[in-house]
Chains A and B, each alone.
Chain A
């Protein structure tokens, strides 16, 4: 069963044009199509010059984030049939510079990612010969949610703080810091403190909470950041009241 829809797509071709424009593609679509299928149809049959990122088409690689009718979405999870309007507006993720068409520059995130120390700093050293670190299912559960981030950047698009000030470390990076802080094998909470508690870190967050709303993997970065605020506030209080307690 085939219906039709108009895709109003943001185009920006910096080699030839200085200003972006919108191009409208009228297409027929099938009932089980996602917006990504529609874009691929345009690229294959109508306009091969349309550029966008995509890969897994099953919501796990994080490549295909775009603004669909003003909301940041993974286009591989946004079904065309769920949009009531005759026109679907597709734009690159907001708060990022546009390289071309629907492709954004995400180098800012790639630079920030290593700064939150996103690797295990072992609480106790253990050689491989001694086997695995024991970690109960409950201990895994404590950080599991925050480990589900696919780095799709929808949260950065939803966050007005990041939109107003791109020096903000941002939801995904901060949530990843918390993932490691909560991992029972990790003892690096102090190592991460400088970056996480810097003025670009957790304290720049004003808990608008939109990041959690748009996250396609239910990571709850807003929750991670508020937890970090409490943890580091307690750490700070302890350091004032019991300065000898520091490692």
Chain B
């Protein structure tokens, strides 16, 4: 069995590298799989598929141990055991961490370990432009070798998409430049639905100006959020009561600053509307105070928080609070898959942020994402291998015709370089602004309709795009234009799915429909691409052992 890994960037640059806080897996004797499952399901506002969550929590410890055996430098207890720390929405300490560069260490460990296997062929800096679908099956991809500009077909008996989310469709995000939803668009265009796209997570603590992430671990270690009156404002938002900072129970699990991200981000908006946030040169912010943790703990357990604060906002968090604000961080929605990572299209699999199984439902708990990519990456791989074992090779004729068709599609996708067309940057900015306007933390029908209409207009403007760069060698304007096409498709799915969901749940908050509606909407949305607006279908959520209840945080 040979495996091709195709990435538009060198593998060490994948955005997993930026993940900071940790990965959750049950390891402590006082913890249990059921507790991890319940925390995840309630955190998801009951939209997570419970069979998928059960798989996640039960397979998590083994996957994490596998990374440890492969060399991941997990932070340790004095006796040498893997250490765990508290995280938002989790009842017990179960977040494994490698200081606060967990994603970096996981990625480098996995990548370096993979180098010993000759069966893995890598296509570094190849940009996939389409899926090859024939005879009802996915049989490979067409991709541009960025360095040369040559488009080629890569045949495969199975394709697994691990292309990440699409945070760059918003103007202010923790996400890297490369998070443009490419894989989601590939599947969408091949007829696979995108599930739960309306659920976009705003992380409560990003640095103002840049949007650089300040990990939840800062709060896991005991950091507090304070408004311009010096008040720990989360106590006013049904998240429990604050403890004294020197109380041994602080930070209290599932309480206050360790509440779920959607609720914390919503609280920020309310505080801003009430005039209780600070005014900064780039907008409003609140203070994340970690001074009481002390220099020693900060340098040992969250050193990158200090480095980032010092470098990018000129604040040393040992002596001053860090200005933070809400920032787009994660997409719970994505390519619809089953619990084995398979999509509706035979031969096509997906895992990670680009997929939606769903384990995260309407809101993801921090440190479940790194766990998800390991567990479902392995599941999707197992499924793909089984499928590939039974599949014939794609024919040369198919690969050749795919290249021809794709070259034609790309060339005729936009206007020539006649100078009076649209620009990539112009359309991109307009897309980002309209999504922030209509599909932000709080939504309503009017704004969502406007955003949907704007996006439909952007699709037309995209056809009038003219590229200044006509060269073949490393043409980054071409790549940016292709990414923009994906971003528009993803944005369309977000806007229309949000418009159709007339309830509030998790990170999708409708001011005109403020309550959760389990009767009408205990379902996943499915956005299917069509010639005009996407059609939105629904699929029931799988409930196994946890009937929908109220999400309660604070003093549980």
> Do any CB atoms of chain A lie under 8 A from CB atoms of chain B in the complex?
yes
Q: Which residues of A are at the interface with B, using a C-beta cutoff of 8 A? A: 13-16, 32, 43-45, 47-49, 51-63, 77, 99-101, 103, 105-106, 110, 113-114, 117-120, 122, 126, 128, 131-137, 139-140, 143-144, 147-148, 150-151, 176, 180, 183, 185-186
Query: What distance in Å separates the Cβ of B295 from its nearest Cβ neighbour in chain A?
Result: 17
The answer on a CB contact under 8 Å between B116 and A45 is no
24 contacts between A and B (CB under 8 A): A13-B473, A32-B210, A32-B312, A44-B424, A53-B9, A55-B13, A56-B15, A57-B210, A58-B18, A60-B101, A61-B9, A61-B12, A62-B12, A62-B13, A77-B311, A99-B474, A100-B473, A100-B474, A101-B474, A128-B69, A132-B74, A134-B80, A139-B80, A185-B69
The interface residues of chain A lying within 8 Å CB-to-CB of B62 are 128
Instruction: Kindly state whether residue B65 has any CB partner on chain A within 8 Å.
Output: yes
For the complex, give the distance between the alpha carbons of A114 and B118 in Å: 11
Please indicate which of the listed interface residues A13, A131, A132, A133 has the most CB atoms of chain B within 10 Å of its own CB: A132
For the complex, give the distance between the alpha carbons of A71 and B475 in Å: 26
A48 partner, pick from B68, B112, B468, beta carbons under 8 A? B468
The answer on a CB contact under 8 Å between B71 and A55 is no
Instruction: Kindly state whether residue B73 has any CB partner on chain A within 8 Å.
Output: yes
Closest 5 CB pairs of A and B: A134-B80, A44-B425, A120-B71, A114-B115, A49-B469
Instruction: Kindly state whether residue B124 has any CB partner on chain A within 8 Å.
Output: yes
The answer on a CB contact under 8 Å between A136 and B78 is yes
The answer on a CB contact under 8 Å between A14 and B477 is no
The answer on a CB contact under 8 Å between B176 and A55 is yes
Query: What distance in Å separates the Cβ of A11 from its nearest Cβ neighbour in chain B?
Result: 12
Instruction: Kindly state whether residue B266 has any CB partner on chain A within 8 Å.
Output: no
The interface residues of chain B lying within 8 Å CB-to-CB of A49 are 468-469, 471, 477
For the complex, give the distance between the alpha carbons of A105 and B124 in Å: 12
A13 partner, pick from B80, B312, B471, beta carbons under 8 A? B471
Query: Assuming the A-B contacts A63-B9, A118-B112, A186-B71, are A134 and B424 also in contact, with contact meaning beta carbons closer than 8 angstroms in the complex?
Result: no
The answer on a CB contact under 8 Å between A16 and B471 is yes
For the complex, give the distance between the alpha carbons of A53 and B147 in Å: 12
For the complex, give the distance between the alpha carbons of A190 and B69 in Å: 20
For the complex, give the distance between the alpha carbons of A186 and B12 in Å: 22
The answer on a CB contact under 8 Å between A133 and B69 is yes
Query: What distance in Å separates the Cβ of A105 from its nearest Cβ neighbour in chain B?
Result: 8
For the complex, give the distance between the alpha carbons of A15 and B472 in Å: 7
What would 8 more interface pairs be, CB under 8 Å, given A128-B66, A135-B80, A144-B73?
Answer: A43-B425, A44-B425, A48-B467, A48-B468, A49-B468, A62-B13, A119-B112, A150-B17
CB-defined interface of B59-96 with A at 8 Å, one 1/0 digit per residue? Answer: 00010011011110111101111100000000000000
Query: What distance in Å separates the Cβ of B113 from its nearest Cβ neighbour in chain A?
Result: 5
Instruction: Kindly state whether residue B538 has any CB partner on chain A within 8 Å.
Output: no
The interface residues of chain B lying within 8 Å CB-to-CB of A131 are 65
Instruction: Kindly state whether residue B105 has any CB partner on chain A within 8 Å.
Output: yes
Query: What distance in Å separates the Cβ of B319 from its nearest Cβ neighbour in chain A?
Result: 21
CB-defined interface of B103-114 with A at 8 Å, one 1/0 digit per residue? Answer: 011001000110
* Contacting residues of chain B (21-77) with chain A, CB-CB under 8 angstroms: 62, 65-66, 68-71, 73-76
Query: What distance in Å separates the Cβ of A112 from its nearest Cβ neighbour in chain B?
Result: 11
The answer on a CB contact under 8 Å between A54 and B177 is yes
Instruction: Kindly state whether residue B458 has any CB partner on chain A within 8 Å.
Output: no
The interface residues of chain A lying within 8 Å CB-to-CB of B147 are 99, 105
The interface residues of chain A lying within 8 Å CB-to-CB of B212 are 57-58
For the complex, give the distance between the alpha carbons of A149 and B544 in Å: 44
The answer on a CB contact under 8 Å between B76 and A55 is no
The answer on a CB contact under 8 Å between A183 and B71 is yes
The interface residues of chain B lying within 8 Å CB-to-CB of A59 are 311
The answer on a CB contact under 8 Å between A57 and B69 is no
For the complex, give the distance between the alpha carbons of A15 and B471 in Å: 6
Tell me the number of A-to-B contacts counted with CB atoms below 8 Å: 156
The secondary-structure label for the interface of chain A is loop
Query: What distance in Å separates the Cβ of A58 from its nearest Cβ neighbour in chain B?
Result: 5
Instruction: Kindly state whether residue B209 has any CB partner on chain A within 8 Å.
Output: yes
The answer on a CB contact under 8 Å between A150 and B12 is yes
The interface residues of chain B lying within 8 Å CB-to-CB of A132 are 65, 68-69, 74, 81-82
For the complex, give the distance between the alpha carbons of A59 and B311 in Å: 10
CB-defined interface of B321-343 with A at 8 Å, one 1/0 digit per residue? Answer: 00000000000000000000000
Query: What distance in Å separates the Cβ of B150 from its nearest Cβ neighbour in chain A?
Result: 13
For the complex, give the distance between the alpha carbons of A183 and B108 in Å: 15
Query: Assuming the A-B contacts A60-B104, A77-B311, A99-B147, are A48 and B425 also in contact, with contact meaning beta carbons closer than 8 angstroms in the complex?
Result: yes
The interface residues of chain A lying within 8 Å CB-to-CB of B176 are 55-57, 61
Instruction: Kindly state whether residue B476 has any CB partner on chain A within 8 Å.
Output: yes
Instruction: Kindly state whether residue B228 has any CB partner on chain A within 8 Å.
Output: no
Query: Assuming the A-B contacts A48-B477, A110-B10, A180-B71, are A136 and B177 also in contact, with contact meaning beta carbons closer than 8 angstroms in the complex?
Result: no
From A52, which residue of chain B is reached at the shortest CB distance? B476
The interface residues of chain B lying within 8 Å CB-to-CB of A43 are 425, 476-477
The interface residues of chain B lying within 8 Å CB-to-CB of A183 are 71, 73
The answer on a CB contact under 8 Å between A51 and B115 is no
The answer on a CB contact under 8 Å between A120 and B474 is no
The interface residues of chain A lying within 8 Å CB-to-CB of B74 are 132
Instruction: Kindly state whether residue B151 has any CB partner on chain A within 8 Å.
Output: no
The answer on a CB contact under 8 Å between B112 and A137 is no
For the complex, give the distance between the alpha carbons of A55 and B12 in Å: 11
The interface residues of chain B lying within 8 Å CB-to-CB of A58 are 18, 210, 212-213, 308, 312
Instruction: Kindly state whether residue B535 has any CB partner on chain A within 8 Å.
Output: no
From A107, which residue of chain B is reached at the shortest CB distance? B124
From B308, which residue of chain A is reached at the shortest CB distance? A58
Instruction: Kindly state whether residue B423 has any CB partner on chain A within 8 Å.
Output: yes
Instruction: Kindly state whether residue B178 has any CB partner on chain A within 8 Å.
Output: yes
For the complex, give the distance between the alpha carbons of A147 and B104 in Å: 10
From B426, which residue of chain A is reached at the shortest CB distance? A44
The answer on a CB contact under 8 Å between B13 and A32 is no
The interface residues of chain A lying within 8 Å CB-to-CB of B178 are 55
For the complex, give the distance between the alpha carbons of A133 and B64 in Å: 12
Please indicate which of the listed interface residues B178, B473, B477 has the most CB atoms of chain A within 10 Å of its own CB: B473
Query: What distance in Å separates the Cβ of A108 from its nearest Cβ neighbour in chain B?
Result: 13
The answer on a CB contact under 8 Å between A55 and B177 is yes
For the complex, give the distance between the alpha carbons of A105 and B423 in Å: 28
From A127, which residue of chain B is reached at the shortest CB distance? B69
The interface residues of chain B lying within 8 Å CB-to-CB of A60 are 17-18, 101, 104
The interface residues of chain A lying within 8 Å CB-to-CB of B81 are 132, 134
B17 partner, pick from A16, A61, A101, beta carbons under 8 A? A61
The interface residues of chain A lying within 8 Å CB-to-CB of B477 are 43, 48-49, 51
For the complex, give the distance between the alpha carbons of A110 and B125 in Å: 12
The answer on a CB contact under 8 Å between B13 and A126 is no
For the complex, give the distance between the alpha carbons of A114 and B282 in Å: 44
Query: Assuming the A-B contacts A49-B468, A61-B176, are A135 and B112 also in contact, with contact meaning beta carbons closer than 8 angstroms in the complex?
Result: no
From B467, which residue of chain A is reached at the shortest CB distance? A48
From A31, which residue of chain B is reached at the shortest CB distance? B281
Query: Assuming the A-B contacts A49-B477, A56-B15, A62-B12, are A119 and B209 also in contact, with contact meaning beta carbons closer than 8 angstroms in the complex?
Result: no
